[in-house]
Amino acid sequence: MKCARCEKEFLFEFHSVQQWLLQSKLDIRQLSFLIYNYGGPLCPDCEDDLQSGFYLWGTNPYRRMSGTTK
Ligand SMILES: [Zn+2]
C-alpha cells in the first residue's frame, strides 16, 4: 500500500481501514485529522511523525473547542 502522505510503499497488514483505525496507536483526534487530510492510512514513519508532532504543530482542528476551558 502507498502511504497517503509520503507516497512510500509500506506493508499494510490490516484487512480494512476500519480495522486499522481500531488497532492504531493514534488517538481519535489524530485519526480524524489524518483521514480528513490524507483520506487513508499512513506508513509507520508518518504515523510516528503525526503522533509526536500533532499537538505541537497547532494543526489540531479541535484545539479551539478543547482549549478554552480553565
Ligand atoms: Zn509515509
Q: Which residues of 33-69 are buried (b: 16+ CB within 10 A; e: fewer)?
A: bbeeeeeebbbeebbeebeeebeeeeebeeeeeeeee
| Statement: the pTM of the whole predicted model exceeds 0.85 | no
Distance between Cα 64 and ligand 1 center (Å): 28
Domain range for 45:
26-63
pLDDT of residue 53: 85
In order along its 70 residues, the chain shows pLDDT tens digits of 999 999 999 998 889 888 988 888 899 889 999 999 999 889 999 999 988 888 875 555 555 555 544 4
**10: in domain:** no
**35: in domain:** yes
Distance between Cα 1 and ligand 1 center (Å): 10
pLDDT of residue 47: 92
CB 35 within 8 A of CB 61: no
Distance CA 45, CA 36 (A): 19
Distance between Cα 41 and ligand 1 center (Å): 9
Domain total in the chain = 1
pLDDT of residue 55: 83
Distance between Cα 48 and ligand 1 center (Å): 9
CB 4 within 8 A of CB 38: yes
